[in-house]
Amino acid sequence: MIELTPLARPYAKALFASALESKNIDEMASELKTMALASKTDGVINTIENPVLSRQDVVTVLVDIFDESISDTSKKLIEILSENKRLNLLESIYIIYQELLEEHKEQKSVEVFVAVDPGEEAKQNIEDKLKSTYGKDANIYFSKDPSMMGGLSIKIGDETLDLSIKGKVKKLINQLNF
């Protein structure tokens, strides 16, 4: 599978610069999130990959789907991505844009991996602890990873704190193997 980040980065940077200039960085993040989520649905994937539709037809269908929920800038992005056969980059563009936004706002992004979805009280407790450590405006995302067997793993930037059963088993195996 091809790594999409290098292809998506110029689009994300240009969008961020444009949004910064027009002072609508949060609105653009919201629009990109909507488009990224939609780009993963079967209907949109089928539309994008439909060989019968021209690139302009695909743009028309996508713009009609999003209609009022996206700005002219986002519509232009869809046109440009379609022209360059890069509509598969929407999710990667959103991820990079979100990183740029967090860097601009000096926020931390914290990803918490759990084996099973925690209850609301446990989730709130985890969020409160992380926000007290990394700032009230830290963005906290929960991801489910059943292979962890239990516990949790916290990723902040390029650092990971592994408190999962899987991580403890690996550590024990490494200690036994010297």
Whole-angstrom distance, CA of residue 153 vs CA of residue 113: 5
What local confidence, expressed as pLDDT, does residue 178 receive?
A: 67
Is the pLDDT at 18 greater than 70? The verdict is yes
- CATH number belonging to domain 5-103: 1.10.520.20
Domain ranges of the chain: 5-103, 108-176
Rounded Cα gap, residues 17 and 11, in angstroms: 10
pTM: 0.68
Residue 1 in this model has a pLDDT that exceeds 60: no
155-167 pLDDT per residue, tens: 887 788 899 999 8
From CA 35, how far away is CA 178, in angstroms rounded?
49
Strands lying side by side in the sheet with 139-144: 139-144, 109-114, 151-156, 159-164
C-alpha–C-alpha distance, residues 145 and 163, integer Å: 13
Mean pLDDT score of the chain: 87
Q: Is the model's pLDDT at 13 over the cut of 90?
A: yes
Element (H, E) at 95: helix 90-104
Residue 9 identity (one-letter amino acid) = R
The DSSP call for residue 68 is G
Beta partners for 126?
none
